[in-house]
Amino acid sequence: MSFLARIFQYLFWLIVVVWGIRLVRWLFGRALGEAARTNIQGGSNLETQTRRLVRDPVCGVHVAEVMAIPLREGSETVHFCSTQCRDKYAAGLRKYAANS
């Protein structure tokens, strides 16, 4: 094969590979873009709740709202990281209520 034929063959395959990579990137980008738009427009309620953090009033740890242990106190809901923190908080409330 002559030198010029090899150069043209190399350039041809280089163009084919570059276009193939661009095509694959475009297809994946389009699929990921549609998935992101779906999550923004009509994403599941669970995903939006996991982004909200609540603070445990006993130990101060921040916990995802869906993972926290809730305790209704009148019209207010207090969230805890563990049952031990919840029980400690409830015992403190009873102690203060007994002194009133």
* pLDDT band, residue 22 (cuts 50/70/90): very high
Specify the pLDDT at position 99. 46
Of residues 21 and 34, the one with the higher pLDDT is 21
How many whole angstroms separate alpha carbon 33 and alpha carbon 23? 15
37 and 58: one domain? no
The answer, yes or no, to whether residue 73 has pLDDT greater than 60, is: yes
Which range marks the domain in which residue 33 is found? 3-43
pTM: 0.46
Number of domain units in the chain = 2
How many whole angstroms separate alpha carbon 58 and alpha carbon 62? 11
- Coil, strand or helix at 100: coil
74 and 86: one domain? yes
39 and 53: one domain? no
Paired tokens of 9? 């063959």
How many whole angstroms separate alpha carbon 57 and alpha carbon 82? 11
The answer, yes or no, to whether residue 16 has pLDDT greater than 90, is: yes
74 and 90: one domain? yes
Report residue 79: phi and psi, to 5°.
-110, 145
Specify the pLDDT at position 90. 86
57 and 87: one domain? yes
94 and 55: one domain? yes
> What average pLDDT score do residues 29-51 get?
63
- Coil, strand or helix at 88: helix
